[in-house]
Amino acid sequence: MHRALFPVLAFCAATAFAQSAITPRGPGAGADSREFREEAAAQYRKILAGLSTRGKLDDDEVMLERVRRISRGLVIAAAEVRPETAAWSWEIHVTSDASKGAFCMAGGKLLVGSVFVKRLDLDDGELAMLLGHEIAHAVAGHRREAARASMESDAAEEIRQAQIAVMQENEADRIGMDLAYRAGWPTAGLVSFYDKLAAQEGPGTFNSSHPSAQSRATTARAIAQTLDKQPR
């Protein structure tokens, strides 16, 4: 079911698999320090408290059980490629707040929007890819710098931040697919997740912090071809 190879660089070819562990680097370096995990946990508590006050936290028991069931294998896979994550205090919750998609904060603090999952009509394999992608951000130590509102306007800096964001999304796609594959999910379902994203993305849609959904689907197919050649 598992294999020992792992994609490491965000912009390398999909066939470049070389190591079995991750070391945070670049803009994410040090982002998973204990202090940062504690800060993330505090912010996570605030988000959960706000959702709970509005009756929108873990209010879909079926979705909650489903997300936690699928996440278990992904968390195990994360510990295979980065052993220290086994000691994290992982938390997994869902919300019916339609403004929430999915995210995983440092230290394994995961929140999934049930409306988002239902809108894309994700089956279990596709949901595993979504969860794998979000978990990958935490596993890779991704960290975004200060919000633009708190910084002086600087076009060059905005471009740099957008480039970092795209790099992190590309890397999370690759790591996330690796985690989901390690957890036993067939690559067809993982690629299908990106196909559904692409189908939802309207013509001419632009998002400075994410690659286009169509390009992500194309890359996912290339990664899947490589993964399928690896022994289980």
Residues 51-95: pLDDT tens digits? 999 999 999 999 999 999 999 999 999 999 999 999 999 999 999
* DSSP string across 127-143: HHHHHHHHHHHHHTT--
Determine the pLDDT at residue 159.
Answer: 76
Summarize pLDDT for 192-231 with one digit per residue, the tens: 999 999 998 866 555 556 788 999 999 999 999 999 988 7
* C-beta separation of 42 from 100 below 8 A: no
Phi and psi, residue 43, nearest 5°: -65, -40
Phi and psi, residue 105, nearest 5°: -85, 170
Domain positions in the chain: 26-228
Q: Whole-model pTM?
A: 0.81
Q: Cα(9)–Cα(126) distance, rounded to whole angstroms?
A: 23
Beta strands 91-95 and 102-105: pairing type? unpaired
